[in-house]
Structures are given as C-alpha cells and as structure tokens.
C-alpha cells in the first residue's frame, strides 16, 4: 500500500492552531495518514514560531515543521531550531543561519521520509539559488530514504513550477507555501514527482491572507505603517493529501483537502 502523507501549508496564528485542534486528528484517521508536514513560520500571532506553539502542533500529530521568510521573527527560535530535528528552515539561507535545511524522520512503520525546505528568489530577497541548493541537498540524502518532500516557500508560481520540473523524478513532491492562497494545479509530472504551486493557509479566510481586513486595507490605501494582526477565530484547514509508492518514491495520487469553518466549529 502507498504511504499517505498530509501536507499543511502556512498555519496562521491562533485561528490556524484552533482549526488544527478541531480537525487534524479526524483527517489523520479518515485518510489513514502516515506522516504530516506543515509550515510553521506564522504560528505565533502570524509571525514566526515559539516552542509553546510548536509543541501544540507536534502534539496534534505533525511530524515536521518547515519555515520561510518569517523564520526568525521570534528570537527564541534562533536557539530552539538547533535543539529539535523536527524543525527545518530554508536550506538556501545564509551559511550563518542556525539549524538545518533538511531532515529525515521515520514513520511508525519504519519508512524514512526526508523533508527539504527552500525559499524562492523572485520578490523574496537575495537568497542562494534554490535549484542548485536542491542539487546539493539531494547529494546528501541517505540512500535508505523512501520519500523526499520539498517545501518551496516562494512568491512566484512560475518559480515553484520550475523547481518541480527541475526535480521531476528525483523527489516525491514539490509543493509551495507562502502566498496563503491555495492553487488548483496539483498534478503528477511525467517522471513521478507530484507538484502543487501553493497548498494555501490554515487560518481564517474572512481576512486578507489571514490578517485583519481593516488593518490590511489601511496599509494598502493610506500607505502608512500598520502592524498586521491575524484574525483569531473562524479558521479553516487547507491541506493536500499525497500518496507515494514507498518502493519507488514516486507519487501515485495528489488531492486537495478542505475543512470549512462551519464544519470545524461543531468539533471545537
């Protein structure tokens, strides 16, 4: 039987955490999920993550937390990332960055899964090339790894698509995070790599990408400084279910999942 892997995009603050408390155990049970990976860079009030927030998510069944451009917004994470191999940050960050850009974890059944984290270049800053960094990381992945997942935290869909084609046949899945907007372009490429440009956020969709509407509009209209604040209630889950043949490491199915705020409210 294939391995069932649940991919969760950016978890936005309290609304996202509450949504996962209400719905993640059911998703894991319903889809017989073997492994869960999520992006945690927005866990703590929308900006970065803390040990307390991360432990809450790990206790729900998440196996690995990836990151992105908000990685260091909570200063405690600069030390925390070195203490737990379940945390990864973009591998193409500066060489001075603490932590690791990839990790290998084992499922209950003994299957070994590698998670690689990368950050894009387009509109994202002057990071090292994610394509060449992926090559360098793949050269270090142990031969006994069954599945390789790549979180590309990037703005441009074209860059995410390009990376998927670049890695087709060499990894199990390339999926995008960062934009907080789910895309409907999930597919399996010719050599067996699944791709989706963005998994979307788990948080409140009565918002502007998870943030309070009035504050976002003030920034857009008035062009004056306003600190974003995440919406704290009404969270929804957006995720992607990936099925991988553990014998070959190739994807056999990819499917978008959704749990609405109304559906989750009855479970809280």
The answer to whether 228 and 262 are in contact (CB under 8 A) is no
CB atoms inside a 10 Å sphere around CB 115: 23
How many residues in total does the chain contain? 268
123: left (phi over 0), alpha (psi -120 to 50) or beta: left
What is the rounded distance in angstroms from the CA atom of residue 60 to the CA atom of residue 24?
A: 7
Q: Which residue has the tokens 């899964």?
A: 113
Burial of 39 (0-12, 13-18, 19+ CB in 10 A): buried
What is the rounded distance in angstroms from the CA atom of residue 20 to the CA atom of residue 27?
A: 10
Q: Which of 31, 70, 178, 180 is catalytic?
A: 70
CA distance readout (Å), 138 to 35, 116, 229: 20, 9, 38
Q: Which of 231, 150, 233, 155 is nearest to 194 (CA)?
A: 150
27: left (phi over 0), alpha (psi -120 to 50) or beta: alpha
Whether 70 sits among the annotated catalytic residues: the reply is yes
Active-site amino acid positions = 70
């Amino acid at each position: 039987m294939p391995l069932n892997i649940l991919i969760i995009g950016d978890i936005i603050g309290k609304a996202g955490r509450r949504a996962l408390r209400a719905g993640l155990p059911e998703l894991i049970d319903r889809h017989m999920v073997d492994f869960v990976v999520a992006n945690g860079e927005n866990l703590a009030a929308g900006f970065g993550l803390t040990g307390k927030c991360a432990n809450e998510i790990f206790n729900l069944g998440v196996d690995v937390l990836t990151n992105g451009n908000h990685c260091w917004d909570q200063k405690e994470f600069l030390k925390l990332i070195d203490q737990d191999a379940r945390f990864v940050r973009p591998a193409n960050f500066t060489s001075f960055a603490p932590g690791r850009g990839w990790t290998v974890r084992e499922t209950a059944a003994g299957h070994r899964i590698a998670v690689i984290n990368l950050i894009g270049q387009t509109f994202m800053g002057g990071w090292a090339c994610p394509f060449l960094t992926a090559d360098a990381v793949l050269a270090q992945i142990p031969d006994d790894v069954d599945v390789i997942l790549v979180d590309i935290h990037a703005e441009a869909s074209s860059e995410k698509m390009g990376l998927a084609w670049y890695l087709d046949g060499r990894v199990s899945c390339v999926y995008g995070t960062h934009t907080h907007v789910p895309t409907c372009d999930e597919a399996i490429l010719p050599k067996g790599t699944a791709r989706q440009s963005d998994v979307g956020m788990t948080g409140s969709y009565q918002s502007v990408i998870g943030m309070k509407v009035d504050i976002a509009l003030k920034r857009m209209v008035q062009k004056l400084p306003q600190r974003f604040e995440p919406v704290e209630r009404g969270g929804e889950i957006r995720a992607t279910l990936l099925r991988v043949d553990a014998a070959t490491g190739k994807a056999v199915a990819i499917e978008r999942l959704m749990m609405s705020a109304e559906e989750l409210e009855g479970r809280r």
